[in-house]
Structure 1
């Protein structure tokens, strides 16, 4: 078959499709496919449309599969296959093909306008299918499943975003992906929380000492943080870089006594680390990740007005005065003060409980060696 012959048959087939004559159109396109003329694209999509007019579902599917073998990301073929699966009652397969078509259309520069209605239909079908799938699963599971099952179900259904530990400096392998820890799992917490009134009294007795939490170092590139050198996010350090800030510590004897009973890591040049973190009304700490996933950050809320919140991963927490919050800051996290009063927490770090004594000793040596190579990296929010 010459190219001219193939073009003639293709025109005949297209005219037959326009007349709604599936049998004649199919005969023309199948003749081209059988001959496989050189340098002439095989009309698989047109053949699939002719087979649909002829109510031959199997042949329509074969033609679409042939097109997708040649061009796996052919948008029109993906849409037509999705529609075929929808008509066959296979919603999951239809949703998969529609999703592939929508994803490909999203990254394609020139999507033919003729496909826009089909893409909108695909999006509407996906939304409807997701609602039915959600209803199906919710009917099949207990009304109040265990917390981890409920969270995993929310991930499956797209009601919850997936966050993982992404420390900016050091990742320790094999730790659980857990954003918040239960304060009742730590036997020292109750005594620390009981000291909250005494700590608050010391805090309210001072009138100065806070500096911006994020400060620039002239020997390093400035951090890309909108709160750089901004006292709206303030810090009053009691321990910094493993060294006691004596002038501040002297003003907080009850606070220092309470911290002395907390298992804060001892890492030369790095820890202990303890400070008051202050957030003024209207301030927003943008989403960011901490340096390490080997530690947990602890917030003892001293002044916790309404309108303040902390998001770690997908979970949001509101501080309550005197109730310790323990979280993994290697997850993306952010904080805000949308109230009318300043929020202040006592902030310090502890080892993650899953890290055993030998590992802590080895990590301490490793972190000290890292810092000995040059100035240590600091948390900059």
Structure 2
């Protein structure tokens, strides 16, 4: 039986030999280490490193397979397996090991700079490989009549997820989750017969906004501290004018001094299914992002309402991502989205971006369900707004 101090000494000698580039000597030390301590990963991994440098790819795989049988998510072993397959030209096998490794990166990230660089390279490879696979799939599907710009958006996103070029996003409301609703990011226009009439009034709404916005004091930071509640947005935007709001209705409370400046806008919105709940909804506001502002990925508070944006000022370089899909804002073209799915927004232009933002009921909810959700919210359960 080899005692632990001797095993440690063998391991240190193997590591020193690796460092000096004496790979054959390192291999002999790590073979002894692995034989003396077969349950210790250090011997098997060191053996794999030495054999890789000696060009013994099969031997390196054997050592790594032994290690992975005891811990199938050993990240360095998975990464090294991926490297070995990539050197051999087997991109599919490399992707399988890199993909598994990237799915099991610990919450704290890589333990050191070298590991972080290896993970970065693996992500770059996976991004490129996923795009290649996706292109090949779409070429194959074209013979079955698939057209990316015309075929089912749901199917396209499913294929993107299959190829690793997209992520499976689910509803993650911060406060209340209503079970059984579909996880749709951007809603199709045909779901709402009130969209076109709303869009036709863009100039009317814009005129009221431009007159009111001449008074800068009418805007308040969108992300504000609230007594007895944590701030759940990016702290960089807390109390910042970079993301500001001109509230007409805030959580169901009419802001009279602002609302009287927008009689036509509020009249137009009366024709939409506003998310009306005493003390909780709707929210109606003009959301303003200054140049260079980024709203980091986040989710809203409940999945029983949707958020509608009617762009008023929409320079090129401003966009909204919901789940896997990103859309540019275009003046007068409304967007309706589910803010309980991860979303982010940015203004990469040199002008302000302004949208009229308001909340509406989910069309899937019955009248009874809307009434029950309202009763639950009014009963004292804590909700708040959200939007981008």
Gaps spanning 5+ residues in structure 2: where? Answer: 3-23, 25-30, 52-57
Residue 147 of structure 2: aligned partner: 144
1:192 to 191, 198, 218: 198
TM-score by structure 2 length?
0.68
1:340 to 336, 350, 361: 350
Deviation readout 1:85-118 (Å, 9 max, x if unpaired): 9999997567545665787999688x99xxx9x9
Cα distance between partner residues in 1 of 2:128 and 2:223: 50
Cα distance between partner residues in 2 of 1:233 and 1:40: 55
- 1:314 equivalent in alignment to 2:327: no
SS of corresponding position for 1:226: helix
Could you tell which deviates more after superposition, 262-271 or 204-213? 204-213
How many pairs does the alignment contain?
Answer: 354
Gaps spanning 5+ residues in structure 1: where? Answer: 4-17, 19-28, 30-35, 51-56
SS of corresponding position for 2:344: strand
Structure 1 pair 296/134, CA: closer, same or farther in 2 (3 Å)?
Answer: closer
Question: What's the offset of the Cα at 1:380?
Answer: 8.4
Cα distance between partner residues in 2 of 1:355 and 1:259: 20
Cα distance between partner residues in 1 of 2:334 and 2:298: 21
Residue 178 of structure 1: aligned partner: 184
SS of corresponding position for 2:264: helix
Structure 1 pair 258/293, CA: closer, same or farther in 2 (3 Å)?
Answer: same
Bigger Rg over Cα: 1
Q: Is the 8 A contact 1:213 1:277 kept in 2?
A: no
- 1:365 equivalent in alignment to 2:344: no
Question: What's the offset of the Cα at 1:212?
Answer: 2.1
Question: What's the offset of the Cα at 1:73?
Answer: 5.7
Mapping for residues 1-381 of structure 1, pairs under 5 Å = 69=69, 72=72, 96=96, 133-134=133-134, 136-142=136-142, 144-145=147-148, 146=151, 147-206=153-212, 207-208=214-215, 210-214=218-222, 216-217=224-225, 219-220=227-228, 223=231, 224-371=234-381, 376-379=383-386
Q: Is the 8 A contact 1:214 1:380 kept in 2?
A: no
SS of corresponding position for 1:345: strand
Cα distance between partner residues in 2 of 1:204 and 1:234: 15
Deviation readout 1:192-232 (Å, 9 max, x if unpaired): 22222211222222222523233534623562532222223
Could you tell which deviates more after superposition, 134-143 or 186-195? 134-143
Question: What's the offset of the Cα at 1:239?
Answer: 1.6
Question: What's the offset of the Cα at 1:349?
Answer: 0.5
SS of corresponding position for 1:180: coil
SS of corresponding position for 1:334: strand
Question: What's the offset of the Cα at 1:325?
Answer: 1.0
Cα distance between partner residues in 1 of 2:138 and 2:68: 35
Q: Is the 8 A contact 2:301 2:340 kept in 1?
A: yes
Structure 1 pair 278/210, CA: closer, same or farther in 2 (3 Å)?
Answer: farther
Question: What's the offset of the Cα at 1:182?
Answer: 2.1
Q: Is the 8 A contact 2:130 2:164 kept in 1?
A: no
Deviation readout 1:22-73 (Å, 9 max, x if unpaired): xxxxxxx9xxxxxx999999x9999xx99xxxxxx9x999998777545656
Q: Is the 8 A contact 1:213 1:380 kept in 2?
A: no
Could you tell which deviates more after superposition, 83-92 or 70-79? 83-92
Cα distance between partner residues in 1 of 2:120 and 2:237: 42
Structure 1 pair 44/183, CA: closer, same or farther in 2 (3 Å)?
Answer: closer
- Coordinate RMSD, CA, aligned: 5.0
Cα distance between partner residues in 1 of 2:124 and 2:288: 47
SS of corresponding position for 1:141: helix
